[in-house]
Structure 1
Amino acid sequence: MKILHTSDWHVGKVLKGQSRVDEHIAVLAQVVEIARDERPDLVIVAGDLYDTAAPSPEATKLVTRALSALRSTGAQVVAIGGNHDNGPTLDALRPWAEAAGVSLRGTVRDSAAEHLIEGETAGGERWRLVALPFLSQRYAIRAAEMYELTAAEASQTYADHIGRLLSVLCAGFGSGTVNLVTAHLTVVGATMGGGEREAHTVMGYAVPSTVFPSNAHYVALGHLHRSQQVVASSHVRYSGSPLAIDFGEEDNAPSVTIVEVTADTAPRVRDVPVTAATPLRTVRGTLAQLSEVDPGEGWLRVFVREMPRAGLREEVQALLPKALEVRIDPDLLRELAEAPGARAAQRAGRSPRELFADYLESRGHADEGVKELFDELYEEVST
């Protein structure tokens, strides 16, 4: 059978105030076109369909249309909720999804059968897929209790609960069937893409690859935005996001993953590039150097190697209209902080204006206009 694996669409994403609706329309249209060309038997969307738990009507329309279009290619379509999605809201869409021929799983239900999806390809290959949406630490414990595994003790870790859940959900895996898992989580040893929500990728949320059964033919993961294979006893892979979510991901290569596998053979995996999104770039330099930059077609993050002053952002944006983020170069700030004579402000007996002026001086910033703006702001807040 052939599988198209994608994840982390983040529809509704706004980048530094810039809507990316048009980019998402183009990206998802390209994903659908890839599905038409590749003719997969199954499409897996491994979570984070939306960028926010309260998506706009426009974002909801775009996601539902994309899922319907993928189904219209003839593939079975399975999508799960991620940490950015509102799981109960996705579950509320299940009547629509079932009518459209899409299997949608937003939250963990009290029946293991809810998370087992089975099918058969046109060529007669049978497949079985365990679909596990994102689980917070609190709900991982609750889910473990629902399946009456063992008492959920406070000392047990998130990884313990995920491992026990998967053990129960995958208990039916056997020979003669392509056994698949999709989940939205962080695996130890995988590389972050750069734009993930940190609280759900670290701080006890990472799990070892041993939580996945060794008899799974392919594990389709979402959550980390960089396409990569994870070292494991089964074939565990992140498809990555089909577009760079923010400037931390500008070096990623957006793609979807195509998998060809049978019950008796190891999966053959390849990435298909997705190029429809506007590229993201970081440029740096003085104003003179930035005036020589070819802006190209991408959105820009600009690190300016100039002393801070009022109006500097506007000067940069006049040179580079597609600059969405303008910052003083962090390397320059570090050099100023480490320069001989740099000192921390002494607070005792000093007014807010004096402290702010001292901070500006420590950063090499002597602009009286900024001090006056601070005075106006401080007076407005304090009165």
Structure 2
Amino acid sequence: MRVLHTSDWHVGRTFHGRDLLGDQEAVLGSLADVVADEGVDVVVVAGDLYDRAVPSGEAVQTCVRVMARIREAGARLVVTSGNHDSAARVGAFAEFAAAGGLHLHTRVDRLHEPSELRDEHGPVLFYGLPYLEPDPARHALNATEGVPGAGEIVERGHTPVLGEAMNRVRADLAARPAGARSVVLAHAFVTGGAGSDSERTIAVGGVEQVPGSVFDGVDYVALGHLHGPQRIDEHLRYSGSPVAYSFSEAAHRKSVWLVDLDADGLAEVRGHELPVPRALATIEGPLQELLEDPAHAAAEDCYVSAALTDEVRPLEAMRRLQERFPHAVHLEWKPAEGKATAPLRYSAIVRGRDDSALAARFVEDCRGARPNETERGLLDEALREVVAEGTE
């Protein structure tokens, strides 16, 4: 059986205010081509199908079209919920969807119940662990009865609940006929993984990481949550997100894992790079240099994050930047070291200054230069109007 491991679609997410649905559909739609070209039997999505608990109608329709293309290409899908989307909404109509080849695993009390899919060697059991928020998951797992391998969770945190979840998975697997192979989908931060700026923290009590040993005893673990593709162990991997969601991911080579299972279990894992709708670029320097230097030509069609090093904050910087870089989405002012005004305590700033001096100091702090005589006149006029209105 050939499995395509992906995760963290985050359908509906924006990038610094830019709509990404078109980019997302283009990349995720290409998975259907991978399914057809590589003979993929099953596509797994290890959490965060959507970017929010209540996705927009457009985001839902994008997912529907993508999944329909994957099914038409010949693969079944196994999906779990993550820490961004809603388990209840993603898992709605799960029993009906399974009949059409879409297997949804979102219920904590049923995480030990796999989807059984078969190949020429027999069954492959897909266990989907939805994102387990420690306290609610601990209560839900402790409340279930009659589950093989179940125990009481006393300690708090991610490791105890994931450990208990995997105990139940291993107990169910042990009760199956010998030779059944297993794949676990899990949305978690495993020790050794490298995070990025676009992941929402799942820390509880300061500890969000779990050891990889929690997942011992299965053939392959398809991890989700971290957005960079990475290998924790041969059988324990993150596929990463299919699209970059922060400039910290500029160096990522977005990809999916193609996982081959033979009669004995895991046979081979290899990466398959995904198309990049629009690359990311970071540029830095004085605004005029960024607008004129030919060295920045390669960034003109990229999503751009710019750091301006001008001593004085330039006026209308983003508008001017977008004349050359139409996809510039992020801008910060980083004046050369020693040029920025040193921060002062509030009491020191206001001491001995009237309203006019405070307004002038505010302008200086914002742009790195004192207001000129004309600007001081405008500030004083505005202050007089405010005082006049207050006395009417």
| Aligned positions, number | 366
SS in 2 for 1:64: helix
Query: In structure 1, what is the Cα distance between the partners aligned to 2:379 and 2:254?
Result: 46
Match of 2:369 in 1: 365
1:128 aligns with 2:132: no
Query: In structure 1, what is the Cα distance between the partners aligned to 2:209 and 2:186?
Result: 13
Which of 296, 301, 320 in structure 2 is aligned with 1:297? 301
Which stretches of structure 1, 4 residues or more, deviate above 3 A after TM superposition?
A: 147-153, 199-203, 332-337, 348-363, 367-373
Gaps of 5+ in 2: none
| CA RMSD between the two structures | 2.9
Which is worse superposed, 66-75 or 2-11? 66-75
Which of 138, 142, 158 in structure 1 is aligned with 2:139? 142
Query: In structure 1, what is the Cα distance between the partners aligned to 2:355 and 2:35?
Result: 60
Query: In structure 2, what is the Cα distance between the partners aligned to 1:199 and 1:86?
Result: 15
Residue identity in the other structure for 1:222: G
Which of 186, 196, 214 in structure 1 is aligned with 2:199? 196
The TM-score normalised by the length of structure 2 is: 0.84
Which of 303, 319, 322 in structure 2 is aligned with 1:314? 319
Q: 1:89 touches 1:106 (CA, 8 Å); kept in 2?
A: no
Match of 2:106 in 1: 106
SS in 2 for 1:171: helix
1:211 aligns with 2:214: yes
Q: 1:302 touches 1:327 (CA, 8 Å); kept in 2?
A: yes
Match of 2:9 in 1: 9
Q: 2:34 touches 2:40 (CA, 8 Å); kept in 1?
A: no
Question: CA offset at residue 157 of structure 1?
Answer: 2.6
Question: CA offset at residue 352 of structure 1?
Answer: 7.6
Residue identity in the other structure for 2:14: V
The structure-2 alpha-carbon separation of the partners of 1:310 and 1:263, relative to structure 1 and needing over 3 Å to count, comes to same
Q: 1:310 touches 1:367 (CA, 8 Å); kept in 2?
A: no
Match of 1:38 in 2: 38
The structure-2 alpha-carbon separation of the partners of 1:195 and 1:135, relative to structure 1 and needing over 3 Å to count, comes to same
Alignment deviations for residues 185-226 of structure 1 (CA, whole Å, 9 cap, x no partner):
11011111431113459932221111112x211100110011
SS in 2 for 1:198: coil
Question: CA offset at residue 319 of structure 1?
Answer: 3.1
Residue identity in the other structure for 1:220: A
Match of 2:159 in 1: 159
Query: In structure 2, what is the Cα distance between the partners aligned to 1:51 and 1:76?
Result: 23
Alignment deviations for residues 292-348 of structure 1 (CA, whole Å, 9 cap, x no partner):
22134211111111122442232222332221111113xx376445x8xx3514426
Residue identity in the other structure for 1:318: E
Question: CA offset at residue 24 of structure 1?
Answer: 1.1
SS in 2 for 1:170: helix
Match of 2:24 in 1: 24
Q: 2:198 touches 2:245 (CA, 8 Å); kept in 1?
A: yes
Question: CA offset at residue 261 of structure 1?
Answer: 2.1
Gaps of 5+ in 1: none
Residue identity in the other structure for 1:301: S
SS in 1 for 2:183: strand
The structure-2 alpha-carbon separation of the partners of 1:372 and 1:203, relative to structure 1 and needing over 3 Å to count, comes to farther
> Percent identity at matched positions?
30
Match of 2:328 in 1: 323
Query: In structure 2, what is the Cα distance between the partners aligned to 1:353 and 1:273?
Result: 59
Question: CA offset at residue 111 of structure 1?
Answer: 3.6
Structure number, greater radius of gyration? 2
Match of 2:230 in 1: 228
Match of 1:118 in 2: 116
Q: 2:6 touches 2:46 (CA, 8 Å); kept in 1?
A: yes
Query: In structure 2, what is the Cα distance between the partners aligned to 1:311 and 1:139?
Result: 48
The structure-2 alpha-carbon separation of the partners of 1:289 and 1:150, relative to structure 1 and needing over 3 Å to count, comes to same
The structure-2 alpha-carbon separation of the partners of 1:95 and 1:367, relative to structure 1 and needing over 3 Å to count, comes to farther
The structure-2 alpha-carbon separation of the partners of 1:220 and 1:199, relative to structure 1 and needing over 3 Å to count, comes to closer
Query: In structure 2, what is the Cα distance between the partners aligned to 1:70 and 1:202?
Result: 40
Query: In structure 2, what is the Cα distance between the partners aligned to 1:353 and 1:262?
Result: 78
Q: 1:283 touches 1:302 (CA, 8 Å); kept in 2?
A: yes
Question: CA offset at residue 87 of structure 1?
Answer: 1.0
The structure-2 alpha-carbon separation of the partners of 1:235 and 1:335, relative to structure 1 and needing over 3 Å to count, comes to farther
